Chain A
Amino acid sequence: MRIGVRRLAQYLGFVIVAGLAVVAIIAPWITPHDPFLQNLDARMIPPSFMEGGVPQHFLGTDQIGRDYFSRLIYGARISMLIGVLVVICSGLIGTTLGVIGGFFGGRVDAVVMFIITCRLSIPFILVALTVVSFVGSSLSVVVMTLGLLLWERFAVVARTTTMQVRTLDYIAAAWAAGCSRTHILLREVLPNILHHLIVVATLEMALAILLEAALSFLGLGVPPPLPSWGLMIAEAKDYMFFSPWVIMVPGLALFVLVLGINLLGDGLRDRLGAARDA
């Protein structure tokens, strides 16, 4: 019974993430309206299933009359894009550092650990604030800031798993078969720690999406009029006492996406772990 529920949750995670990814990719073809088109005559229309709603705006309109449903769909695009790019960037940095530290050990490892400790002592929001106030906010600045700061979990996991794998017999066998160091790192060690890193990647992706929302909410993330979910929440906060749905819609979307990614990560951990132990 418990297994059944767990399976179901994992499938749900996969469906949510895959579904939102598809939606994000085909956004221009499925949005009923232009997400940037303002219409001051049609402001704050409630969703069509609520009182006062109109059928052509399924989720209503925001404070300057933009179609909320279209903005929500484009928001998925921004969130997914940021999630994926940040994970690629931080994954590369963290994995490289971690694998090198774990593999070579000794002094090299001490340096890597020092870098990780330095990163951990950097106050994230303050750095983001400083960066944004120097170079201005834009999508690429958000991706760079998050990507350059979110790699420590990759580094820690890559380091410890590399240390475990390094001592295994098949690595010794690879040395004995005349493999070079580069070959052993890239072809023998990396494929065997990849399943751990994939799980970390899902966690980091969820974290990156939440942080983007937080930064956008603070006005440090993607600049308006881009339809980021965090930005939508920020813009909605002034109206939430009279029209609670304006803040609930993007909030719910964010919750569902992050939940989906986390469920997917859980599922991957179980699946990939089980395949290893068989």
Chain B
Amino acid sequence: MPEALLDVAGLRVRFGRDVEAVRGVSLAVERGQTHCVVGESGCGKSVSALAVMGLLARGATRTATHMRFDGQDITDLSERALQALRGDRMAMIFQEPMTSLNPAYTVGSQMAEVLSRHRGTPKRLGLERAAELLAKVGITAPGLRLGQYPHQLSGGLRQRVMIAMALMCDPELLIADEPTTALDVTVQAQILRLLQGLQRELGLAILLITHDLGVVARIAHKVSVMYAGEVLESASAADLFASPRHPYTQGLLACVPVPGRIRRGDPLGSIPGTVPRIAPGFTGCGFRDRCAFARPDCAGAIAQRDDGLGHRHLCQLAA
């Protein structure tokens, strides 16, 4: 198996003394593939993504067994070296397109700025490249858009601009933190199709964070299901949807209405309770308080199970 572009193992993030937001997460994103991280609000998805980029807020401490990007360990990289990577070889797009662009600058100058920072490209060439990319992300009249300010664009357009901006330096890895959550459904579908097209064309590796299983089904090659700072189950998308092993994953899938499988009038599935706040030193399964199948030994250490074909899950119930 070729080495993954991004290979993270044993990632932990703590905020202060009392909160451990990410507890030993391992992820691998292959070149040209999409790895979806799915989970409820507050389960540590975004924090994991930020931790990979080295963008955690002050007060957060990050440790990892290793975090390799293209074979290079980036765990202990200096801030300066990270700055050179960010926006150049690894780019990120955010959830809120309405506020992710700087209102003080035109679209064109923000985009050209990225290229001039990393490559020293003159502004004129940067603007040409920006226009090219705006066209590529499906924006008509890119020349006109370059001279406009963010407040003159709609949400869908802004997200396209964000994507185009992330692509300025031909990144190998694109981290997308809920890129479609703030958009309406038709625009969501357009953006996902766009990401897929770009991936095919440019061989992008995408780490996509979402809480929407519909998005996962549409775009993912691999899926990691996160809960309370841990990856409970990870598998290829097809495998995960066909045979979810972890009770949490099963519960999540039961929450999605599938035409044909659910009849009119049937109650939709739901998982009672909310994600607990996990303090350092917590042992056992984080889901046991909400799990219908919980047993007393769920409070002990849980071993990871692996079917040998890349489908792993963290649960000791016989699956």
* Chain A interface residues toward B at CB < 8 A: 105-106, 168-170, 172-180, 183, 187-188, 191-192, 194, 276, 278
Residues of the A chain whose Cβ atoms lie less than 8 Å from the Cβ of B102:
170, 173-174, 188, 191-192
Task: Select from chain B the residue with minimum beta-carbon distance to A195.
Answer: B104
CB–CB B91/A176 < 8 A: yes
Contact of A177 among B58, B96, B165 (CB under 8 A): B165
A100: shortest Cβ distance to chain B, in Å? 15
CB–CB B86/A175 < 8 A: yes
Name the residue among A169, A176, A191 with the largest chain B CB count within 10 angstroms: A176
Q: Tell whether B69 is near chain A: CB-to-CB under 8 Å.
A: no
CB–CB B114/A169 < 8 A: no
Q: List 26 A-B contacts (CB under 8 A).
A: A105-B58, A168-B99, A169-B94, A169-B96, A169-B100, A170-B100, A170-B103, A172-B55, A173-B93, A173-B101, A173-B162, A175-B86, A176-B91, A176-B92, A177-B91, A177-B165, A177-B166, A178-B88, A178-B114, A179-B83, A180-B83, A183-B117, A187-B113, A192-B102, A194-B104, A278-B151
CB–CB A192/B104 < 8 A: yes
CB–CB B85/A178 < 8 A: yes
CB–CB A169/B99 < 8 A: yes
Name the residue among A105, A174, A187 with the largest chain B CB count within 10 angstroms: A174
Main secondary structure of the interface of A (DSSP, over half): helix
Q: Please give the number of chain B residues whose Cβ is less than 8 angstroms from any Cβ of chain A in the complex.
A: 31
Residues of the A chain whose Cβ atoms lie less than 8 Å from the Cβ of B151:
278
* Chain B interface residues toward A at CB < 8 A: 53, 55, 58, 82-88, 91-96, 99-105, 113-114, 117-118, 151, 162, 165-166
CB–CB A191/B94 < 8 A: no
CB–CB B117/A179 < 8 A: yes
Residues of the A chain whose Cβ atoms lie less than 8 Å from the Cβ of B58:
105-106
B40: shortest Cβ distance to chain A, in Å? 21
A190: shortest Cβ distance to chain B, in Å? 9
Name the residue among A106, A169, A174, A188 with the largest chain B CB count within 10 angstroms: A169
- Complex Cα spacing A276 to B104, Å: 9
CB–CB A178/B99 < 8 A: no
Contact of B118 among A170, A178, A276 (CB under 8 A): A178
